Amino acid sequence: MSYIGKKISEARKLKGFTQEELAELSKVNLRTIQRIENNNNEPRGKTLELICEVLQIDKGELQDLKTSENNRIGAFVVNAIFLILLNLAIALAFSYMVTPIEASANSKFGAVLLSFFMPFTIFYYTQNMTATERIFKFGICWMIYLTTLLFAQGFRAALGIGFRTWIFPCILIYFGVLFYGKVLFKSEK
């Protein structure tokens, strides 16, 4: 049910009106009222004014509900794009540091440090999330990476590549800090 339809339905029930009574009092077709409350139609113009007048609700408030609903959808899309880009950046940063077999010890040590401090920073800013939600939002890149590696190379070859390049220890540290961040980080309440 849309926010407008839900608000109209709640206001109607609060006033103790049936849909038939609201249709009669507002001089709006009963089928129109039913469609609005079932989210099949969205009231506009004169219809919205008539319903709001009978239910004694502000027309502007209902229109603000529609705007906030559109803002939520936009925010969801922006957040999804941001999470995808962030996950790609995380995976690429680690891969660049440790994937080449000839990567230096400094590069590998840097990746290990990064695999601790990056999820620690993520945890700091997402303390209100559950550990599982944090893993799925910020660890999906590694889940895809591991699945692809195992599928493409086979289990035994993937293990050899993962430990030889230090990518597996980095992933384990990354997931450990994301999941057990509360143990590592004592927040002040």
DSSP letter at 139 equals: S
The pLDDT, as a whole number, for residue 87 is 84
Report the Cα 85 to chain-centroid distance in Å: 14
Residue 166: closest CA among 90, 102, 87: 102
Taking 80 as the threshold, does the pLDDT of residue 64 lie above it?
no
Q: Which two tokens stand for residue 50?
A: 């008539």
Q: Is the dihedral of CA 126, 130, 133, 134 positive or negative?
A: positive
The pLDDT, as a whole number, for residue 90 is 82
Q: Provide the whole-model pTM.
A: 0.56
The pLDDT, as a whole number, for residue 1 is 44
Read off the pLDDT of residues 162-176 as tens digits, 9 standing for 90 and up.
Answer: 777 888 888 889 999
- Which DSSP helix (H) or strand (E) runs through 153? helix 140-153
- Which DSSP helix (H) or strand (E) runs through 141? helix 140-153
Q: Where are the alpha helices (DSSP H) in 18-139?
A: 19-26, 30-37, 45-55, 59-98, 105-125, 131-138
Read off the pLDDT of residues 79-131 as tens digits, 9 standing for 90 and up.
Answer: 888 888 888 888 888 777 777 767 788 888 888 888 899 888 888 888 888 88
Read off the pLDDT of residues 106-120 as tens digits, 9 standing for 90 and up.
Answer: 888 888 888 899 888
Please name each of the domains of the chain with its CATH number: 3-57 (1.10.260.40), 68-184 (no CATH)
DSSP letter at 44 equals: -
